[in-house]
Structure 1
Amino acid sequence: MAYLSLFFYAIVLILLIPATTLAKNNTDHLALLAIKSGITHDPQHVVGTWNTSIHFCKWEGVTCGRRHPRVTTLDLGSRGIVGSLSPHIGNLSFLRVIRLENNTFKSVIPPQIGNLFRLQKLILINNSFEGEVPASLSNCTRLNVLGLSRNKLVGKLPQKLGSLVNLEIITVHSNGFTGGIPSFLANLTSLVAISAADNHLGGTIPHGLNQLHNLQEIGFANNQLYGTIPPSLYNLSSLRVISFTDNKISGDLPLNLGLKLHNLEFFQFSGNKLTGNIPFSFSNCSNLVELSLAENGLTGKVDINFSKMPNLWYLALFDNILGSSEPDEMKFIDSMINCSKLEMLSVHINRFTGVLPSSIGNLSTQLTSLAFGRNNLYGPLPSGIGNLVKLERLSVLQNQFNGVIPNELGNLRNLKLLYLHYNNFTGNVPYSIGNLSLLTVLNLSKNRLKGYIPLILNNCRSLLSLDLSKNNLTGPIPVELFQLSSLSITLNLSRNHLVGPLPQEIGKLKSLTKFDLSQNDLVGEIPNTIGSCVSLESLLLDDNLFQGQIPPTMSALKGIIILNLSSNNFSGEIPRFLSQLNLSSLDLSFNDLEGEVPLEGIFRNGSLFKVNGNDKLCGGPPELRLQKCRKTGSRKSRVIFLVVIPLCTLLVGTMVFMSFLIYRRRRKTRAQPPAEASHVQPFTRVTYGSMLKATNEFSQQNLIGTGTFSEVYKCILEPDDGMVAIKVLKLENRGALKSFTAECEALKNIRHRNLVKIITSCSSIDYQGNDFRAIVYEFMPKGNLERWLHPSSEHEMDAESGPQRLSLHQRVTIATDVAQAIHYLHQDCEVPVIHCDLKPSNILLDSEMVARIGDFGLAKFLPLKPRESSTVGLRGTIGYAAPEYGLGSEMTKEGDIYSFGILLLEMITGKRPTDDMFQEGLNLHGYVKMAFPDRLKEIVESGLLLVREEADQNINYGYNENIEGRRWKKIEKCIVSLARIGLTCSMESPTERMNTTKVVHELQNISGIV
């Protein structure tokens, strides 16, 4: 009987087990269906197969355990999926691996993932997850891989993650994390790799990282880190990769670095503030693949022995102060012969002296980039360089190389960029250069080359820029050169001894932007075909022997900004079409021009054009002080007075009488008056095709600006009405359509000299079923204020194209223009407008440096609608947005005033409100306030102090000290007044800020000072 009872209970248990398993299976099944419901786009139809026709363990991307039908792996990586991750993922309690990388999962990471105590790998790389990392992840104590990189995550990494003691790999790079390098990392002693580049962590490198004895890879590039490298970090002998590029780390590298870190493969510290010598002990790092120490302050001799580094791929030492002036300081190249995998060698912008060793021809045949520019190297360029057959970039510019350019360069068939300018090369331009069919940029300027321009350059069919200027070249310009239709950036042949006429074939260079033939001996007339060069922005023909009239076909050059025809023999009158072009600089001086100087366009501003040295000119703006134009009574004019005028009078009288009769007849019929014709704006029928063509298919070459909601291109639309700017909306970005609507609404009914002018009516274009929206504006040739306040190094290097520092007078004028525009928007519009996003990049400058406010994508009309009034969050740009916006306050006129105040302080100091120096409670307002008024000269932008230096210099040269002193006092008074306006406008309390009427009045008073 007892045996029967046991048997009975055994049967019951057997029957109960499937029921329990079924219940658990159902939990997983429902969780997977919930995950499926959160997916809104599934281009590969992965979850489309998730249905009841097959067991969920066989669903694509799902793996179950062998013993139990429970989900252990969810792998939906690289499937193009869009959607959000359901919180129900926390119910898959047997999950060990989650792989969702390379998709577009949005919203937050569900905190319910913290329920998955068996989880070992969580890989969410390259998605759009946002918000903070949930602290609940600390419950997943078995986790060994955490991949969160390339998302939109923010805030501090939770301190509780220090409990993940089994973590081996953590990747959080390319997010928005803050709060310094987390101290809890020191607890994760199993860590092998940390990747946290491209965040906003800040702070110093913690000493506690020396506890991570298993660490092999550490990366914190581009994180605003500062301070020195803790010496204890060099005790981690297992390190293979150390990457701290683009921070502010300072101090010297220890001499024994290579002895302690003998396993190093990647050592990346470019873009920091390191000083001292490069340790010789790097010679001990035989596994080294990349050594990047560029853009620091390193000094001394490079005496590393590279001979035992067969895997070296990249050596970057550029932009330091390296060099010892010792004769053999370039001998380190000899030791690189065994580096058979070397692809890039960049040691430019240093102080290396000496001869380039011939061993350079024995370097790796894998080499693609070789850069020695801006050093003090001399002697010939070794002919063996022609052995480096995979070379794509060769730069030895701005040295003292001499001798002939070796013909062996013609062996480099893969060469794309060749920079040999600013040296002392002699002889002819090598014919072998014609072999380089892939060459895009060739710069041989500022050498001592002679002879003719070789016709074989015509074979360089990919050439975008050719510069042979400042040499001793002779002969005519070869017609073959103009068959290079690829030339679109520069053709510069200036400062040579070229003779003969400018060939008619010039018209074939339809894409050329800059053409410079100045200071040669060219003769004849400018060909009419010049009008076909419709992309020209700069045309320099000065100091030649050109003659005849300025051809009328040049009126087709709608994009021209700089035109110099000075010091030639041009005759005739100044063409009226020049006043209709978008010129910002025009030089017609020292020719044989005659007649009246126009008063329209560029001729309204005497500082933008020159006509001196033309004795037969008259009229023009008063500042030219030319003679008045005489009106002589010739025989022709007498005929007009005695014959033509009476006939015209009789004809007009007849027409008036006939019109009167017609009017009476129509009045009797009492006909219905015709409907009023609607105003047709220019370009109202702009098509997608015309935009596509005008912008060269929206190419990068035409791109002049990009933002969150749009990209801006410059082009010339047909019919020819000058250069325009086309703003193309990024409709895939959330808020872009709203921005488009706001901008159209704001600009359609407001007109002011200091507001950007819209050319088209705002409309959408349905292109092949896609919603394409664009706005056409007038083109602003001087760019935006951001570019002038903070010119890039590239602009600073090129004085012709890049903006120079703004004078104090220009800054005051621009500030006044902006203030008047704000006053108009706030006070004089029929419906007041708040701009909501005033900042330098939204202040545009026309050819006369008149400021215009642009980008009304965030603008609002007053009074605000109820939902606008209740909007919580930041509106505008960080640093420029009023502080009350961040607290949820509604948008007001005072918010624009705050932005203007910050803008004004930035114009004075040259500091952005987001500058790295503004931390721990200090901001731009406080920075200026601490120096106001007595110490302002310590913080103002350096360019504004040049007046002080000039005054002191004039006194030293014997100028009147009282006059120079008074001059500086005026400038000082002006700067103090500007700072006071900026401080008052950027007060934290909106009620304490200055109103626009007073701002405009005070700025106009300051204008009188400067």
Structure 2
Amino acid sequence: MHTLTIPKMRFWLVLQQLALIIIIITTDALKNNETDHAALLAMKSKTLDPFGGGALSSWNESSHFCNWEGVFCGKRHKRVTLIYLSSSGLSGTLSPHVGNLTFLRRLWLNNNTFHGEIPNEIGGLYRLKVLSLSSNSFQGRIPVSLSRCSSLMRLFIGYNNLVGTIPEEFSSLSMLKVIVVHENNLTGGIPKFVGNITSLESFSAANNLFGGTIPNNLGQLKNLLQLGLSNNQISGTIPSSLYNLSNLNVLSLSFNNLHGSLPPYFGNMFPHLELLQLQVNNFTGQLPNSIGNLTKAKELCFDSNDFSGKLKVDFSKLVNLLRLNFNFNNLGSGDFDEMHFLESLTNCSDLDLLSTVRNQFRGVLPDSVGNLSSNMHHFNLAANQLHGRIPPTIGNLVNVSLLGLAYNRFTGPIPSTIGRLQKLQRLTLFENQLSGTIPESIGNLSLMNELYLSNNNLEGTIPSSIGNCQRLVFLRLEQNNLSGTIPKELFQVSSLSILLNLSHNHLSGPLPSEIGELKSLTLLDISNNDLSGEIPSRISSCTSLESLFLQGNMLQGSIPKSMEFLRGLKILDLSRNNLSGEIPTFLEKLSLINLNLSFNNFNGELPLQGPFANSNAVSVYGNDRLCGGIPSLQLPRCPVNSNFFFSSKRIFAIVGASIIIGILILISSMVFYLRKRKREPTTLELLPKESFVHVSYGELLNATDGFSSNNLIGAGSFGFVYSGVLDQIGDVAIKVLNLVNRGAMRSFMAECKALKDIRHRNLVKIITCCSSIDFQGNEFKALVYELLVNGNLEKWLHPSQETSRLEFNLPQRLSVAIDVASALDYLHFQCETPIIHCDLKPSNILLDQQMVAHVGDFGLARLYNPEIGISHHSSSMGVIGTVGYAAPEYGLGSEMSIKGDVYSYGILLLEMLTGKRPTDLMFTGGLNIRNFAGQAFAGEAIEIVMDPTILQSDTATGQRDSYLIAMVKIGLACSEELPQNRMSMTNVVRELQLIKETMFK
């Protein structure tokens, strides 16, 4: 019998222990593999893959999870170390089980549509180095638990809907190099602890709601390359410590409330700076000469501040410069060499944009302007005080697409070399003192979209070569000394779709019949010229026309019958011509809000319907042979054929008819009396009787002079609105429902139900709901409101001739916007049962004597319980708003929500700023009110995009434009296509109030 020696026994014992350890490790690995497997399946269960066979189609049992798409494992332990599902079209929520992937080092889920909160369990990923959740719809707060991810180096959570502050606990993340939290709704200040994370290379917190000042200790971040704090509410000055960040290549502080001046050494402190954005702040003082030492700079933005004084910067060393923007400041000194800085810019061979709109430059444009970069696309010196001639060398800028020299004092001719700019799309030379003729070479600009030559001293004829500009959309030649006939080639530019204005010139001859080629044109103004002949019948082909101005000419003949096909016409002015004949009745059927036929030779009886029923919509002064019409027009009565009255048969017919009518009235009175005894007028049964005061049908009849057309102040889908005076109340507005119209009864009940218990300063006050029997025994229903004397917002935004002289400035519009937002915030969040208005638009917003706005017309309103959805007791009609204002998801069958009201509000706000209806015919081919208004962010586009009335504000230009841009931003945020991306009305009120406080401080 052999026995093991001691060494052999020890060997076998060690071998057994090693085998046991291997078994334990293998078992643990298999167990941990199962943990990862389960975690991934849990993530899949919470994720929606709209493409079906998309990124997650391989996540099944047919293969090991390390082989699934977007999943990467370590070679040693076969544990998940990387998930990469960027831009995969995924949605849903992020499962808390993601926290079980403890070997995960990188998680990339950016550019999808995940929503819900970021789970706290994500803090369990202690090996995590990169977290990228940007460009989703995550909500809630940034989880504090992320501070446990001690290895985290890059955090990307921008472009979401996160709220709250950046957690203080993040101060422990000592390895962080990148923090990207921009485009959220984060609040508080920029945390001071960020200055202690000395490893930080990039901090981007733009487009949030951060306030306070820039922390001084950010100057400790010696490794910082990028600092982005734009589009917040940060105030104060730039701390001097920031000038220690010599490695910065991006410094973006735009769209804040920063003030102070830039120190003289500013440009010496950032030798690596490529992007400097200081626009839309309150900086003052002179631009330091040292800016010329930013030799790596590619983009310098100083616009919308209050910089002043002479621009002395030598830009010759900025050879990489692409964009230079000084718009909306007070730069300029009046020195003879004012524009010398342009000379130094000729060394910037890649310069793409140079813009100095609305400053105080007073010099002469030097010939050296032709030596600027041949790559220049955008060159705009508009709204200064530049004088002298436009140098012919301007023709060397052969790649320029926008050339803006408007609102200056240029004299002399338009150089013919302008025809060399064959890539030009927009040319603005209006409001100068240019003379001479329009050069024939203008016809070489075949890519031109917008041409503005108005308000100059140009003479001669309109060159026929303009017909070569087959992409023109805008053309303005008004207020010049142009003469001769209108070339027919102009009317053959079928692309003209928004505006053609030739008014206030000396154009003569007839209107060419080719006018019918302008089928897409919205506004045509040829007024105040010397045109003769008749209005061509082919004008009926201009089916998109909304405004037609032909007044102040020598046109003759009658109004052509073919004009009845101009169904979209809203404004027609034919005054001060030699037109004759009877006024055609088809004008009654057009949707005219302003019709001016004054001072012609029209005769006969004036029609009574359509615009002729409203003395504020029609003007017929100076037509001595007109008669009839509504009494307020004060025309003589039309003569009556006397043979009719003296015919015995006619007399017999009249007497017989009178007797029959008398008998019918007697019978009706008896029926009414009998019915009245059985059914007295009652208030609406769905409401408590004490909710409203009781008003009878007879009282309403007396209050409105028998529902006279003189008292008619509005009309809607379900009835008419009259003004009236009730004895016990005073001035009121009375909405009478036409119960024949489908949905009228439900609209009536919805409005009474919605308004019976709510009271708010910015809601129209309902006095009573009347439900009774009229004198003919018919059912009668009406709503009585307080009368708001300044009418509805529609009339202020799109005034007729009578209201066009009334001022509606920026502060007033801002106040109205706040009033409406406050009303919606009350309806959505402060009522016991939230209310969705469902039909917010200008005509449903009324203004009182102090221009306080009141939201009205709750005929489509829905009561909303967040737990059970739309109330069955609210309006159940299929109508869910008005085209242009209704949220896009409604068209796809989505349930109504408060987010739908937010969308309508966003469109309304953009309409208030641009003066354009969302249904304006200019919005075609992908252009809509959102991207039209969004052009305001380009700075110089403000003069085109914004309602001209706003631009006449007394507010300093730079400040005014910053307010406008901030308001446009809110309008765009409210009208996002996805409901979850829209602002809440609470935030809208707060943001607008901040703008108002800044405006009036």
For the aligned pair, the TM-score class normalised by the smaller chain equals 0.5 to 0.7
1:788 and 1:254, CA in 2 relative to 1: closer, same or farther beyond 3 A? farther
Give the aligned partner of residue 278 of structure 1.
287
Distance apart, 1:263 and its partner CA: 2.4
**Aligned 8 A contact 2:380 2:403 in 1:** yes
Q: 1:33 aligns with which of 38, 41, 57?
A: 41
Identity %: 45
Give the aligned partner of residue 706 of structure 2.
none
1:288 and 1:222, CA in 2 relative to 1: closer, same or farther beyond 3 A? same
**Aligned 8 A contact 1:154 1:176 in 2:** yes
Distance apart, 1:555 and its partner CA: 2.5
1:484 and 1:642, CA in 2 relative to 1: closer, same or farther beyond 3 A? farther
Unaligned stretches of 5+ in structure 2?
A: 1-8, 660-714, 718-742, 753-762, 765-789, 828-832, 875-900, 902-907, 913-948, 954-1001
Give the aligned partner of residue 457 of structure 1.
466
Q: Give the letter aligned to residue 633 of structure 1.
A: N
**Aligned 8 A contact 1:31 1:89 in 2:** yes
CA distance in 1, matches of 2:191, 2:289: 33
Give the aligned partner of residue 510 of structure 1.
519
**Aligned 8 A contact 1:788 1:806 in 2:** no
Give the aligned partner of residue 246 of structure 2.
237
Give the aligned partner of residue 89 of structure 1.
98
Give the aligned partner of residue 62 of structure 1.
71
**Aligned 8 A contact 1:42 1:79 in 2:** no
Give the aligned partner of residue 971 of structure 1.
none
Distance apart, 1:723 and its partner CA: 13
Q: Does 1:24 align with 2:32?
A: yes
Give the aligned partner of residue 862 of structure 2.
859
* Helix, strand or coil at the partner of 1:479: coil
Distance apart, 1:634 and its partner CA: 5.5
Distance apart, 1:638 and its partner CA: 7.4
Give the aligned partner of residue 2 of structure 1.
10
1:207-606 superposed matches below 5 A:
207-606=216-615
1:802 and 1:221, CA in 2 relative to 1: closer, same or farther beyond 3 A? farther
Q: Give the letter aligned to residue 397 of structure 1.
A: A
**Aligned 8 A contact 1:842 1:854 in 2:** no
Distance apart, 1:800 and its partner CA: 12
Q: Deviations over 1:755-800 (max 9, x none)?
A: 9xxxxxxxxxxxxxxxxxxxxxxxxxxx9967888x8xxx99x999
Distance apart, 1:301 and its partner CA: 1.0
Q: Give the letter aligned to residue 69 of structure 1.
A: K
CA distance in 2, matches of 1:196, 1:234: 19
1:852 and 1:619, CA in 2 relative to 1: closer, same or farther beyond 3 A? farther
CA distance in 2, matches of 1:420, 1:506: 26
CA distance in 1, matches of 2:251, 2:744: 50
Give the aligned partner of residue 844 of structure 2.
843
Q: Deviations over 1:946-990 (max 9, x none)?
A: 9xxxxxxxxxxxxxxxxxxxxxxxxxxxxxxxxxxxxxxxxxxxx
* Helix, strand or coil at the partner of 2:555: strand
1:360 and 1:36, CA in 2 relative to 1: closer, same or farther beyond 3 A? same
Q: Give the letter aligned to residue 182 of structure 1.
A: P
Distance apart, 1:556 and its partner CA: 2.4
Q: 1:189 aligns with which of 193, 198, 202?
A: 198
CA distance in 2, matches of 1:312, 1:348: 19
CA distance in 2, matches of 1:644, 1:121: 97
Distance apart, 1:597 and its partner CA: 3.6
CA distance in 1, matches of 2:272, 2:159: 28
**Aligned 8 A contact 2:864 2:870 in 1:** no
Distance apart, 1:216 and its partner CA: 1.6
* Helix, strand or coil at the partner of 1:376: coil
1:726-875 superposed matches below 5 A:
747=747, 804-805=806-807, 843-844=844-845, 853=856, 859-860=862-863
1:103 and 1:627, CA in 2 relative to 1: closer, same or farther beyond 3 A? closer
Distance apart, 1:449 and its partner CA: 1.6
**Aligned 8 A contact 2:116 2:139 in 1:** yes
* Helix, strand or coil at the partner of 1:353: coil
Distance apart, 1:138 and its partner CA: 0.4
Give the aligned partner of residue 110 of structure 1.
119
Residues 572-581 or 518-527, more deviating: 572-581
1:495 and 1:748, CA in 2 relative to 1: closer, same or farther beyond 3 A? same
* Helix, strand or coil at the partner of 1:35: helix
CA distance in 2, matches of 1:803, 1:157: 50
Residues 46-55 or 337-346, more deviating: 46-55
Distance apart, 1:586 and its partner CA: 2.3
Give the aligned partner of residue 957 of structure 1.
none
**Aligned 8 A contact 1:785 1:843 in 2:** yes
CA distance in 2, matches of 1:141, 1:317: 44
1:247 and 1:168, CA in 2 relative to 1: closer, same or farther beyond 3 A? same
**Aligned 8 A contact 1:295 1:318 in 2:** yes
CA distance in 2, matches of 1:615, 1:86: 81
Distance apart, 1:12 and its partner CA: 2.8
Q: Does 1:631 align with 2:639?
A: yes
1:643-662 superposed matches below 5 A:
none
Distance apart, 1:316 and its partner CA: 0.7
* Helix, strand or coil at the partner of 1:617: strand
**Aligned 8 A contact 1:495 1:520 in 2:** yes
**Aligned 8 A contact 2:421 2:445 in 1:** yes
Distance apart, 1:131 and its partner CA: 1.0
1:372 and 1:569, CA in 2 relative to 1: closer, same or farther beyond 3 A? same
CA distance in 2, matches of 1:643, 1:310: 99
TM norm structure 2: 0.68
* Helix, strand or coil at the partner of 1:367: coil
**Aligned 8 A contact 2:750 2:862 in 1:** no
Residues 852-861 or 171-180, more deviating: 852-861
Distance apart, 1:68 and its partner CA: 1.9
CA distance in 2, matches of 1:440, 1:550: 32
* Helix, strand or coil at the partner of 2:296: coil
Distance apart, 1:383 and its partner CA: 1.6
Give the aligned partner of residue 21 of structure 2.
13
1:265 and 1:434, CA in 2 relative to 1: closer, same or farther beyond 3 A? same
1:842 and 1:289, CA in 2 relative to 1: closer, same or farther beyond 3 A? farther
Distance apart, 1:844 and its partner CA: 4.9
Q: Give the letter aligned to residue 180 of structure 2.
A: T
Residues 108-117 or 569-578, more deviating: 569-578
CA distance in 2, matches of 1:345, 1:466: 24
Residues 419-428 or 300-309, more deviating: 419-428
Higher RCO structure, 1 or 2 (CA under 8 Å, sep 6+)? 2
CA distance in 2, matches of 1:458, 1:22: 78
Distance apart, 1:88 and its partner CA: 0.9
TM norm structure 1: 0.67
CA distance in 2, matches of 1:31, 1:238: 42
* Helix, strand or coil at the partner of 1:8: helix
CA distance in 2, matches of 1:255, 1:316: 20
Q: Give the letter aligned to residue 805 of structure 1.
A: E
**Aligned 8 A contact 1:784 1:840 in 2:** no
Give the aligned partner of residue 962 of structure 1.
none
Distance apart, 1:526 and its partner CA: 0.9
CA distance in 1, matches of 2:199, 2:648: 106
Residues 114-123 or 179-188, more deviating: 179-188
CA distance in 2, matches of 1:128, 1:321: 41
CA distance in 1, matches of 2:308, 2:339: 14
* Helix, strand or coil at the partner of 2:308: strand
Give the aligned partner of residue 755 of structure 2.
none
Unaligned stretches of 5+ in structure 1?
A: 654-721, 725-742, 756-782, 826-831, 872-895, 897-902, 908-941, 947-1010
CA distance in 2, matches of 1:261, 1:387: 34
CA distance in 2, matches of 1:803, 1:71: 70
